[in-house]
Amino acid sequence: MMMYNNDSSLLNPMAFVGLNGAMGGMGPAGVGQGPQMQEHLLGWNHPPEHIDIVHPHWRGFLAPGKYWHIGLALIYFMLLVLSFVGNGCVVWIFSTSKVLRTPSNLFIINLALFDLVMALEIPMLIINSFIERMIGWGLGCDIYAALGSVSGIGSAITNAAIAYDRYRARLCAIFTLFPLRRRTISCPIDGRLNGKQAAVMVAFTWFWTMPFTILPFAKIWGRYTTEGFLTTCSFDFLSDDQDTKVFVAAIFSWSYCFPMVLIIYFYSQLIKSVRRHEKMLREQAKKMNVKSLSAQDKERSVEMRIAKVAFTIFFLFVCSWTPYAVVTMIAAFGNRELVTPFSSMLPAVFAKTVSCIDPWVYAINHPRYRQELTKRCQWMGIHEPDSGPSQNNAEAVSVTTEKLKSDDA
C-alpha cells in the first residue's frame, strides 16, 4: 500500500516546514542522517483492517521518533499524578466536610469530576506512546475520544454554571446591604441557588455532554479518528465533505462558543455591578465624612478580588480549549496543510495541563478548604490558620447569603 512507501516524494511539502526544525530531522532532510532512526510514514504499523482509523491526511507525514513518544508519556504521567491528587482532594474534602458541603460548591466538585474523567485518558495515552499506536484500535479510539468529549464539553459548561452561580448569588449579597433581602431593586434575581437547583444544574451539565459524545461514538453523525502522533483520538475534523464541516461547526458552537459567551456575559456584568457598588460606597463615605464604608477595606477590595477570579477563570478556559478550537477550524475550513502532527498534539497538552490546574485555582484560595487540607493532608505542607476577624469580614458576604439559602431551602 502507498502509505508504507517511504519515498519522500509522497510527503506533503508543508509538513517539512513544521517538522524539520521542530523535530530535529524528521523531514526528508533527516532521512538517512542517523543509523539509529528508522524512518516511517504515520500509519506504518497499522494493518489494513485497522488503517481506516487513520485519516489520509496524517499518512503524508513522517512518524515521530521514539523519543517524542517517551517524552510525552513522561509529561502525561506527571499530569496524571497532579490531576488525581489535586482533583481527588477537591472531591474528597468538599464532599465530606460539612462546612464545605454547600450548593455552590457542588459546581466545584462537578468540575473536579470532569477533570478526573479527562485524567482517565492518560493511562491509555501512556500505553499508546510506548506501542506507538492506539491500543484497542477502533474501540480504543472511540473510548479515548468519548472520555475527552465528556470532560471537555462538561468542563466548559460547568465553568459557565459557576459564572452564573457567582453572578446570581454573590452579586446579590454585595448589593443588598443590611438587612439582606432576596428581591430588591438592586438584586432582581432570586439569590443563591439552593441544593435542589444546584443538583439540577449539575445533572444538566452531564446531559449537555451527551449529544456530541454519543453521536460520533455510534457513527450517527461524525466519527472518532486518530490524530497527531496517532496515539490520541478525537472527532473527525479533516474529512473534506459537507457533513463533516457542518458537524465541526455545530460542535464548535455547542462546546466552545456558547459556554464562552455565557462566561463573558456573567463575569462582565458582575464586574460592572461591583464597580458601581464601590463607587456608591465611596460617594456615601464622602457624604458622611468618613474614609470608607467598606467592610473589606483592610482586605483587597471586592472589585479587585472578583475581577481577578473572573479573569483567571476566563483565561484558563481560553488557554485550555482555544488552541484546539483553532486547529479544528483551520483543518475543517482553512488550509489543512498547516495542521501537522506536532501542532495538533500541543492543544491536547494544554487542555490536560489546565485540567490539573483547575482544582488549585478554584479551591486552593478558599480559606476553609486550606484549613481542611492542613488538617487532613499535612504532607502537602499547607498551613492555614483558623479564621480570624479579618478573614471573617472577608467572608461576610458569602456567609450571609448561605444563611439566606438555608432559611429558604
Please report the pLDDT score of residue 32 as a whole number. 42
**CA dist., res. 111 & res. 155, Å (int):** 6
Residue 337 pLDDT greater than 80, yes or no: yes
pLDDT in tens, 345-395: 988 888 888 888 877 776 666 777 777 877 877 776 666 666 554 444 444
Task: Report yes or no on 139 lying in a domain.
Answer: yes
Q: What is the pLDDT of residues 209-230, one digit of tens each?
A: 999 999 999 999 999 999 999 9
Q: What integer best gives the mean pLDDT of the chain?
A: 78
Task: Kindly give, in sequence order, each residue whose CB lies less than 8 Å from that of residue 229, ignoring residues fewer than 6 positions away.
Answer: 42, 63, 64, 68, 69, 72, 129, 132, 341, 345
Q: What CATH code is carried by the domain that includes residue 172?
A: 1.20.1070.10
Number of domains in the chain: 1
Of 98-107, 182-191, 237-246, the range with the lowest mean pLDDT is 182-191
Whole-number pLDDT of residue 117: 94
Mean pLDDT of 169-177: 58
What residues contact residue 298 under an 8 Å CB cut-off, 6+ apart?
Answer: 390, 393
> Nearest CA to 83 among 118, 50, 57?
118
CA distance 127 to 261: 37
**What residues pair up with 356 in beta bridges, in sequence order?**
none
C-alpha grid cell, residue 338: 498547516
Taking the CA of residue 69 as centre, how many other CA atoms within 13 Å lie in the half-sphere pointing to its CB?
Answer: 19
The pLDDT tens digits of the residues spanning 45-57 come to 999 999 999 999 9
What pLDDT sits at residue 239? 93
The pLDDT of residue 190 is 54
Q: Give yes or no for residue 188 having a pLDDT over 70.
A: no
Mean pLDDT over residues 290-310, rounded? 56
Band (313; pLDDT cuts 50, 70, 90) = confident
SS3 of the chain: CHHHCCCHHHCCHHHHHHHHHHHCCCCHHHCCCCCCCCCCECCCCCCHHHHHHCCCCHHHCECCCHHHHHHHHHHHHHHHHHHHHHHHHHHHHHHHCCCCCCHHHHHHHHHHHHHHHHHCHHHHHHHHHHHCCCCCHHHHHHHHHHHHHHHHHHHHHHHHHHHHHHHHHHHHHHHCCCCCCCCCCCCCCCCCCCHHHHHHHHHHHHHHHCHHHHHHHCCCCCCEEEECCCCEEEECCCCCCHHHHHHHHHHHHHHHHHHHHHHHHHHHHHHHHHHHHHHHHHHHHHHCCCCCCCCCCCCCCHHHHHHHHHHHHHHHHHHHHHHHHHHHHHHHHCCHHHCCHHHHHHHHHHHHHHHHHHHHHHHCCCHHHHHHHHHHCHHHCCCCCCCCHHHHHHCHHHHHHHHHHHHHC
| Residue 371, Cβ density class (10 Å: 0-12 exposed, 13-18 middle, ≥19 buried) | buried
Residue 247 has pLDDT above 80, yes or no: yes
Within 13 Å and on the Cβ side, how many CA atoms surround 334? 10
The share of the chain scoring above pLDDT 70, in percent, equals 71
Determine the pLDDT at residue 26: 43
Q: Which three cell numbers stand for residue 103?
A: 450548593
In a domain, 153, yes or no: yes
Lowest-pLDDT range of 57-61, 165-169, 228-232, 257-261: 165-169
Taking a C-beta distance cutoff of 8 angstroms, is the pair 347, 327 a contact? yes
User: Does pLDDT of 271 surpass 50?
Assistant: yes
User: Is residue 400 in some structural domain?
Assistant: no
pLDDT value of position 368: 77
- Domain assignment of residue 169, given as a range: 58-178+189-376
Residue 359 in domain: yes
Average pLDDT rounded to a whole number, residues 299-321: 68
Give yes or no for a contact between 319 and 350, defined as CB atoms under 8 angstroms apart.
Answer: yes
Question: Is residue 396 included in any domain, yes or no?
Answer: no
Q: What is the CA radius of gyration of the chain?
A: 25
Q: What is the dihedral of CA 261, 262, 268, 272, to 10 degrees?
A: 130
- Asked if the structure places residue 47 within a domain, the reply is no
pLDDT at 250 over 90: yes
Q: What pLDDT score does 364 carry?
A: 65
Q: Per residue in 98-130, pLDDT tens?
A: 888 889 889 989 999 999 999 999 999 999 999
pLDDT band at 29; cut points 50, 70, 90: very low
Mean pLDDT of the region 328-341: 92
Between 33 and 295, name the one with better pLDDT. 295
Contact assessment for residue 235 and residue 227, using Cβ atoms and an 8 Å cutoff: no
**pLDDT, average across residues 231-236:** 94
Identify which has the larger pLDDT, 147 or 358.
147
- Residue 20: inside a domain: no
pTM: 0.79
Check residue 172 and give its pLDDT.
62
Q: What type of residue is 271? A: I
On whether residue 2 sits in a domain, the answer given is no
At 4 the pLDDT is 41
The confidence score (pLDDT) of residue 191 equals: 61
